[in-house]
Amino acid sequence: MSQVSTVNSESVVESENEIVESKAPSLWARLGAEVIGTFILVFGGLGAAMWGGLQGASQIPSALAFGLALVVAAIAFGQVSGGHFNPAVTLGAAIAGGIKWLHGLYYVIAQVIGGLLAALILYVTLVRVPAFQTPTEGGGLSSFFGQLANGFDDHSQLKLPMLSAALIEIIATAVFVSVILAVGRLKSNKAVGPFAIGLSLAVLLTVLGPFTNGSLNPARSTAVVFFTDGWAVGQLWLFWVAPLIGAALAGLIYRGFIVTDGDAPRTVADAAPLETEGEQELATVAEGQLAGSQATEAAVPESTVNQEARDFFDGKTSPKSADEAKSKED
């Protein structure tokens, strides 16, 4: 009887794995979600910043717009791609073990494309607006984009030196990515996750505004520089290096001090997001199959498919082995 239960358990696990993998979003679907999500984030944040600049408003509305845009994008597309929308977040997830490195590279390319498309549409839409017209065609808008670009020294509101700008971007990005990784471990109240992440982004951008104009996101920084003066391109490197260092610190700290033995994410390619309706259906099917077997108390081992993006690092429970099931029956 124990031998029959072991066979039934293994067949259930295999069927679970096959169905989960078939329900996993394809790589192209995930990349498309990253393009659209980053577009929403950059379009909403930069658009609000432009309007606020024309009205002489503070940077708080712009920071809130970035945060709310991130909430919207995360809710809409987070279950498809994991809702990174930021190369720094992707790096932190890769170091912590939540996404394959090659897929992470694809994510970064998709994010940069999404940000560039958002900035391009804003530029093309506003280039003929009278408020941005100057004797040099497009010069007014180009100069205005320069006010949205990230910078240091003379291009910082507080004339922040380069090293200080790098330090504050590193620390702020580390905090932001840490929040994302921590939210990914929530096993209850997961609906609050996007709001926690969006609010943390808004708060950090409000703080960083006078220092560097608030980056935290290399894709957002890159989106602006092609539509303004050359100084922005010359200073762009810092707003890639600093956020990536901060994200790497967050990922290393998470992996080294938070993820415990037996809790570390496994590396299985093309993993499906967890807690989906399909996975709940799998649990129901598995219970029905085991109930019909001769094993009265045999438990179904958990799927060995590792999650890749959304809910990065939920704790894993080691599947019960055949020996454990056998001893329990005996």
Q: What is the pLDDT of residues 129-145, one digit of tens each?
A: 776 766 554 457 777 78
What DSSP character marks residue 27? H
Which one, of 144, 142, 149, 81, lies nearest residue 115 by Cα?
149
Chain mean pLDDT for the chain: 76
Note the pLDDT of residue 280.
44
Task: Name which of 19-23, 225-229, 284-288 the model is least confident about.
Answer: 284-288
The number of residues making up the chain comes to 330
The pTM of the full predicted model, rounded to 2 decimals, is 0.72
**Are 69 and 121 within one domain?**
yes
Give the model confidence (pLDDT) of 232-263 as tens digits.
Answer: 899 999 999 999 999 999 999 988 877 654 44
Whether residue 12 is found in the same domain as residue 41: no
Q: Are both 35 and 180 inside the same structural domain?
A: yes
Indicate if 139 and 215 belong to the same structural domain: yes
Q: Are 274 and 281 in contact (CB under 8 A)?
A: no
Q: Is residue 78 part of a domain?
A: yes
**pLDDT in the model for residue 110:** 97
Lowest mean pLDDT among 29-38, 118-127, 160-169: 118-127
Domain end among 258, 292, 318: 258
Asked if residue 265 is part of any domain, the answer here is no
Q: Which of 195, 224, 258 is the last residue of a domain?
A: 258
Same domain, yes or no: 182 and 301: no
Residue 264 confidence (pLDDT) above 50? no
If asked whether residues 198 and 308 sit together in one domain, one would say: no
Higher-pLDDT residue of 134 and 123 is 123
Q: Are residues 200 and 84 in the same domain?
A: yes
User: Phi, psi at residue 134, to the nearest 5°?
Assistant: -140, 170
Tokens of 68: 């709310």
Measured from the Cβ of residue 51, the count of other Cβ atoms closer than 10 Å reads: 13
Judgement on whether residues 296 and 169 belong to the same structural domain of the protein: no
In terms of domains, do 108 and 70 share one? yes
How many domains, the chain?
Answer: 2
Nearest to 166 by CA among 215, 96, 95: 215
pLDDT recorded at residue 98: 87
270 found inside a domain:
no
CATH code (residue 231) = 1.20.1080.10
Which tens digits make up the pLDDT trace of 70-119? 999 999 999 899 999 999 999 999 998 889 999 999 999 999 999 999 99
pLDDT given for residue 55 in this prediction: 63
Q: List all residues 6 or more positions away from 101 whose beta carbon is below 8 Å from its beta carbon.
A: 94
Q: Would you say residue 53 has pLDDT above 90?
A: no
Distance of alpha carbon 273 from alpha carbon 197, whole angstroms = 18
Note whether residue 268 is domain-resident.
Answer: no
* Residues 10 and 65 both lie in one domain: no
Given a contact cutoff of 8 angstroms between Cβ atoms, the answer to whether 251 and 259 are in contact is no
Region for 306 from its dihedrals, namely left if φ exceeds 0, alpha if ψ lies in -120 to 50, beta otherwise: beta
In a domain, 172, yes or no: yes
Rg (CA), the chain: 23
Under the banding of pLDDT at 50, 70 and 90, the label for residue 191 is: confident
Q: How large a percentage of the chain has pLDDT more than 90? A: 45
Contact between residue 197 and residue 180 where contact means Cβ atoms under 8 Å apart: yes
User: Residue 188 domain-assigned?
Assistant: yes
**Distance of alpha carbon 101 from alpha carbon 99, whole angstroms:** 6
State which of 258, 287, 302 marks the end of a domain: 258
Look up residue 7 and give its two tokens: 């066979």
Cβ 198 vs Cβ 71: under 8 Å: yes
**Domain extent at residue 88:** 25-258
For residue 276, count other CB atoms closer than 10 A to its CB: 15
pLDDT of residue 236: 94
Does some domain include residue 264? no
Contacts of 256 (CB under 8 A, 6+ apart): none
Same domain, 15 and 58: no
Burial of 328 (0-12, 13-18, 19+ CB in 10 A): middle
Residues 93/46/232/35 CA torsion (nearest 10 deg): 40
Report which DSSP code applies to 21: H
Q: Residue 8 falls within a domain, yes or no?
A: yes
* Residue 44 burial (10 A CB sphere; 0-12, 13-18, 19+): buried
Residue 306: pLDDT band by 50, 70, 90 thresholds? very low
Burial group, residue 241, by CB count within 10 angstroms (0-12, 13-18, 19+): middle
**For 195-232, how does the pLDDT look when each residue is reduced to its tens digit (9 = 90+)?**
999 999 999 999 998 999 989 999 999 999 998 888 88
Query: Span 27-51, mean pLDDT?
Result: 93
Residues 218 and 291 in one domain: no
